[in-house]
Amino acid sequence: MIGRLVHRYRWAVPYVLMAPGLLWLVAFFVVPMVPMILFSISEGTVNTGIVQPPDVWAIGNYPEVVVKFQDNVRNSLVFGALATTLCFAIGYPLAYAIAFRGGRYKNLLLFLVIAPFFTSFLIRTISWKVILGNDGPFLAVVRDALHLVPANFSVMGTPLAVVSGLTYQLLPFMVLPLYVSLEKVDIRLIEAARDLYAGPWRPRGTAIGAALGGALAIALMVGLRYADPGDPSGLVAAAGAALVGGLLGGLVAHFLVTEAFVRVVFPLSLPGVFAASILTFIPAVGDYVNADLLGVSPNNQMIGNVIQNRYLFQTDYPVASALSFILMGAILLAIALYAKVLGTEELTGGRA
């Protein structure tokens, strides 16, 4: 009896399986968004009294908060993009090594990747505060021992501290999806590519690697505010960083990257790249703990810090709600553009 009913209504099985998850999203995501939308077009605070629609329609909250907190929005997008890029630059080679060279140590290596999650997020952030402090081990080596930076150089209270913390905290979110994607690559495809003379990626690869390395170095210098494009000394610093980054990128591409990787491995891992980037970028943009504990200065505050302050301390629900929706819209727009550029139609419901 039950078997016949299941067979008869088998078309409904996927919807039944999705129902618990959809109900959860409706109850804890869609429903709470309704009062947030109303708050975002309201006026006043909890202390002074909030006037909501239909008594008032404060649509102007949105352009007002964009103008007022544009620096915080820019910090969130820049810091999130830099942290995601660094996580990818570190995580892809790590995931590749575990997938293709891990051997019997794969499980151990994967455990080491997720081991930081066994401690509190807050404790890990405070640990980085100690590491990057003026008397911490990082500056003890870079400043005091190697003299690579000036004697008054400090990391705490700078964008470098925030991006470093974000990169460390979110690296596992990048590595694990990349590993899963790379693990699925059939090694026989790589062997076939090598048989078809897909050898070292030279000389074109050397030039592309140098260009990418130089571009990444310039992005880091500008994004971390160590180089101001409007300042001649900043241009010199950016040019020096581009030279070093280009040299390193060219060497990596020249000696380590092959045509088999470019034509076979990397294209097959693009779904993992997409998923890993999204899982890293979204929490990075919305983070406020690293900016609060490591950034210190108001100049390094992200949009999450403003939302936290407006909600919890100033009880300014209209501004906080408007900022939340602006942040959500900016993230969705960035993801849509990224998916379009990457061409991952199979991940967004398009044709494979």
| pLDDT tens for each residue of 146-183 | 888 888 889 999 999 999 999 999 999 999 999 999 99
For residue 245, pLDDT beyond 90: yes
- Residue 346 is given by DSSP the state G
Segment 266-273 shows an average pLDDT of 91
Segment 29-58 shows an average pLDDT of 89
Q: What local confidence, expressed as pLDDT, does residue 345 receive?
A: 54
For residue 6, pLDDT beyond 70: no
CA separation (Å) from 178 to 146, 343, 350? 35, 17, 22
Segment 101-129 shows an average pLDDT of 91
Q: What local confidence, expressed as pLDDT, does residue 352 receive?
A: 39
For residue 350, pLDDT beyond 60: no
The rounded percent of the chain whose pLDDT value lies above 70 is 95
Domain boundaries for CATH 1.10.3720.10 within the chain: 65-187+261-347
For residue 344, pLDDT beyond 80: no
Structure tokens at 342: 């990457």
| 3-class DSSP assignment, residue 200 | strand
Of residues 104 and 338, more confidence is placed in 104
Q: pLDDT category, 128, cuts 50, 70, 90?
A: very high
Q: What local confidence, expressed as pLDDT, does residue 250 receive?
A: 94
Segment 105-110 shows an average pLDDT of 93
pLDDT tens readout for residues 177-194: 999 999 999 989 988 988
pLDDT tens readout for residues 207-239: 999 999 999 999 999 999 888 877 877 788 889
Q: What local confidence, expressed as pLDDT, does residue 137 receive?
A: 92
| 3-class DSSP assignment, residue 305 | helix
Structure tokens at 318: 């209209």
Terminus-to-terminus CA distance in the chain, angstroms?
A: 39
Q: What local confidence, expressed as pLDDT, does residue 11 receive?
A: 77
What is the rounded CA–CA span in Å between residue 277 and residue 183?
18
Q: pLDDT category, 349, cuts 50, 70, 90?
A: very low
Q: What local confidence, expressed as pLDDT, does residue 343 receive?
A: 65
Segment 32-52 shows an average pLDDT of 89
Q: What is the mean pLDDT of the chain?
A: 89
Cis ω before 54 (30° cut-off from 0): yes
For residue 284, pLDDT beyond 90: yes
Residues with Cβ within 8 Å of 175's Cβ and at least 6 positions away in sequence, in order, are 91, 94, 95, 98, 113, 276
Segment 335-350 shows an average pLDDT of 66
For residue 2, pLDDT beyond 70: no
What is the rounded CA–CA span in Å between residue 65 and residue 323?
7
Q: pLDDT category, 88, cuts 50, 70, 90?
A: very high
| 3-class DSSP assignment, residue 51 | strand
Which CATH number is correct for 65-187+261-347, 2.60.40.1220, 1.10.10.10, 3.40.30.10, 1.10.3720.10?
A: 1.10.3720.10
